[in-house]
Structure 1
């Protein structure tokens, strides 16, 4: 595993676009810290992660197809399953980096707003049990953030593998949740009620409770266990399809 991660890092270490995108991602996260509140920071950061890391993932994979570097690595003895595992390990590293950044910046937002910690319900007083409860909520939201980000990264690799051209894959990735999936959901509603709520991006969007609904006085409750389960099923399904397609693909 470590060998494959080192192999993947060796490929991106001199890749300027990778570091520029990652740097912009961090700067935007930092910028959001100034304007977000304790109750909205992680939720907003999840969309930033979706945009930047999704773009980064697709760009990396499509460039390997277009430049034939992936073919060369496989000809040199790298197994196709190892190539996928190396991408998986890189995604885990990116998510850990994101989670640490968001955690530190969330503490900064909490301190800025006069709260000791962050929670989805808003700032909580730092004394006694409230501080412990707030810490648990922060860690839970970070876990939800990480799962949501990994789900979208899993979706991005599936799209990149099927389209192979960066421009097409990026367009599909960004248009899917705002155009294609809503249209599919509308069609499903004409025949079967309730199925549209279990489409992939709809499920991923529910992994983090919207703080804005609470601000408007709308009761939303927590994230349902069925949502976690559906997200995990989609992640496994995406990687299974990716593995099958990649094992048969002409690269």
Structure 2
């Protein structure tokens, strides 16, 4: 497996566009630290974002994994481009001629997906830990390790999404069309949700059905963290509204994403096995 990973990373690092995108992605993850520097004054009101509690333990694990998940599109471009380059440069055919089986080829791509997800998770962990130790009001060990569950959930979320991108890259063969299909699928899920809600079911039933769709199921793994902020809770209390949302991730939500991940990898292999390269 190490050999397969080495082959993939050599290909990626020798591709200038992929190299730029990967570096940009991790630079953006690091840019979370810039939130701490945001300050502005509105008359007598002084606002410092770091003072709003977004870097407090254990809230920072929730906030940072939710925010950084939006940057995954950079690596999505790398993954679909990785597959389109295999077809356009005919390296996929050469790899098979050199003795790499189709199963090993797909395994090498999936190992790359896992590597991107794992490295991203470790990176977010390190950045969040540093920011928390610098800015958090609570530095007790038990408070720090509370809610670390968001990190493995973040890993599963990325792995599922990148597996979907891998499948699209093999299905469509062209990176621009694959990314277009990804956007269209997101639009489709939104339209389908609207049709279900308008014509057939109430909101609760519609949500249950949509939770089985790939992109929605991945999004569900980490709920929005903003309503947990003390400032939001204070405003809600002042206007007589109680914000009491459930931020937990349940085992069946994780299972749905894992099933989609396995299905995307299997379909990628089935497509490759069926095609005459």
TM-score bracket, shorter-length normalisation: 0.7 to 0.9
Distance 2:75 2:196 in 1: 30
Partner of 1:46: 69
What are structure 2's unaligned runs of at least 5 residues? 37-53, 233-242
What TM-score does the superposition give when structure 2 sets the normalisation length?
0.79
Distance 1:73 1:86 in 2: 11
Please give the per-residue CA displacement for 1:184-211, whole angstroms capped at 9, x wherever unaligned: 2333443464312321111100111210
Partner of 1:118: none
Please give the per-residue CA displacement for 1:145-164, whole angstroms capped at 9, x wherever unaligned: 10000010011011111111
Matched, 1:104 2:130: no
Q: Which piece of structure 1 moves more, 88-97 or 7-16?
A: 7-16
Matched, 1:186 2:194: yes
- Out of 213, 228, 250, which is 2:227 matched to? 213
Answer yes or no: is the 8 Å Cα contact 1:197–1:203 preserved in 2: yes
Answer yes or no: is the 8 Å Cα contact 1:42–1:106 preserved in 2: no
Q: Decide which structure has the larger Cα Rg and report it.
A: 2
Distance 1:101 1:22 in 2: 13
Answer yes or no: is the 8 Å Cα contact 2:80–2:179 preserved in 1: yes
1:175 and 1:213, CA in 2 relative to 1: closer, same or farther beyond 3 A? farther
- Out of 159, 167, 170, which is 2:179 matched to? 170
Answer yes or no: is the 8 Å Cα contact 1:43–1:208 preserved in 2: yes
In the TM superposition, what are the counterparts of 1:50-61 in structure 2 within 5 Å?
Answer: 50-61=72-83
Answer yes or no: is the 8 Å Cα contact 1:57–1:156 preserved in 2: yes
What TM-score does the superposition give when structure 1 sets the normalisation length?
0.87
Deviation of 1:93 after TM superposition, in Å, equals 1.6
Matched, 1:141 2:154: no
Answer yes or no: is the 8 Å Cα contact 1:213–1:220 preserved in 2: no
Answer yes or no: is the 8 Å Cα contact 2:163–2:261 preserved in 1: yes
What are structure 1's unaligned runs of at least 5 residues? 116-124
TM-align CA RMSD: 1.8
In the TM superposition, what are the counterparts of 1:218-229 in structure 2 within 5 Å?
Answer: 218-229=244-255
Distance 2:246 2:176 in 1: 37
Please give the per-residue CA displacement for 1:223-248, whole angstroms capped at 9, x wherever unaligned: 12210111111111111111111111
Deviation of 1:10 after TM superposition, in Å, equals 2.6
Deviation of 1:95 after TM superposition, in Å, equals 1.6
Matched, 1:238 2:264: yes
Distance 2:196 2:262 in 1: 23
Please give the per-residue CA displacement for 1:133-181, whole angstroms capped at 9, x wherever unaligned: 431412x11101100000100110111111111111112223432x121
Distance 1:141 1:18 in 2: 28
Residue 208 of structure 1 aligns to a residue whose secondary structure is coil
Distance 2:146 2:103 in 1: 37
1:233 and 1:34, CA in 2 relative to 1: closer, same or farther beyond 3 A? same
